[in-house]
A and B are shown apart, each in its own frame.
Chain A
């Protein structure tokens, strides 16, 4: 996943009845949890891995069960530079959360339990292995206090 230009992407387009609103919210929350990006308010995208393929596939099944309709593709970007730009969008989003963790860690009363959980959640969405993430991990490990290693 280090080279965006070689990345395949999984794309999900769906529609779902507006009522009940809980169905729409459920699907939306799952897409957010997966760290999928919504392009132009139309297409949800994730870099293709065995895991993201499977998760999108089950989500498509769930959308069907909620009386909706979903299309799922796997594709490559053809225009030069677009894959890198897209990867950077994914990266920027996780880096923003990593930065929040670093800022919180500066506080005297930082809640290490909550921050560790936040780190685990964002790491699950860190498809392009952010350098900031590695830094956050080191900071969290040294923030536990007491012994240095």
Chain B
């Protein structure tokens, strides 16, 4: 199916696209529209756009919302959600030192990528790596 988000992807949307392709829709096709652009393309599920179902809710990032909406309970994914929350939103409590670095790396990935499509593809490697590392550590509950 088709998924749509705003252009200039960063830490949260790279995480979401990785999650979508890996867990929800292996044949996912991603579309990009300029920030604020309306109407959104018909027949595509919007994500990380203000006001849509799959977006920030109650101070949490879109990746966190997606885990909840699709009932994904893998503790490693939950930990990645915590990291993305700290990277992408203002949090009082900071528990994951990886957050700041991950944000910078994802921004840089977009800078060295010719377009958002390629940036999402490259981002997958980063999240595969993060998942593998967290899976090898004892999971804080």
Contacts and interface: CB of A to CB of B under 8 A. Distances in A.
A22 to B, nearest CB: 12
Contacts of B8: 50
A50 B58 CA distance: 21
Given A29-B92, A33-B90, A50-B8, A62 B58 contact: yes
Interface residues of B, number: 11
Interface string A11-46: 000000000000000100110011000000000000
7 contacts: A26-B59, A30-B90, A50-B8, A58-B50, A58-B56, A58-B89, A61-B50
A33 B94 CA distance: 13
Looking at chain A, what size class is its interface with the partner chain? 10 to 19
Interface in B41-60: 50-51, 55-59
Interface of B: 8, 50-51, 55-59, 89-90, 92
Nearest to A26: B59
Nearest to A121: B94
Contacts of B58: 62, 65
Q: Is the interface of A mostly helix, strand, loop or mixed?
A: helix
A30 B89 CA distance: 9
A90 B56 CA distance: 28
A5 interface: no
A105 B141 CA distance: 37
Interface in A47-94: 50, 55, 57-62, 65
Nearest to A31: B90
Nearest to A30: B90
A61 to B, nearest CB: 5
A33 B56 contact: no
Given A62-B56, A62-B59, A55 B50 contact: no
Nearest to B8: A50
Contacts of A26: 59
B92 A61 contact: no
A57 B92 contact: no
B56 A61 contact: yes
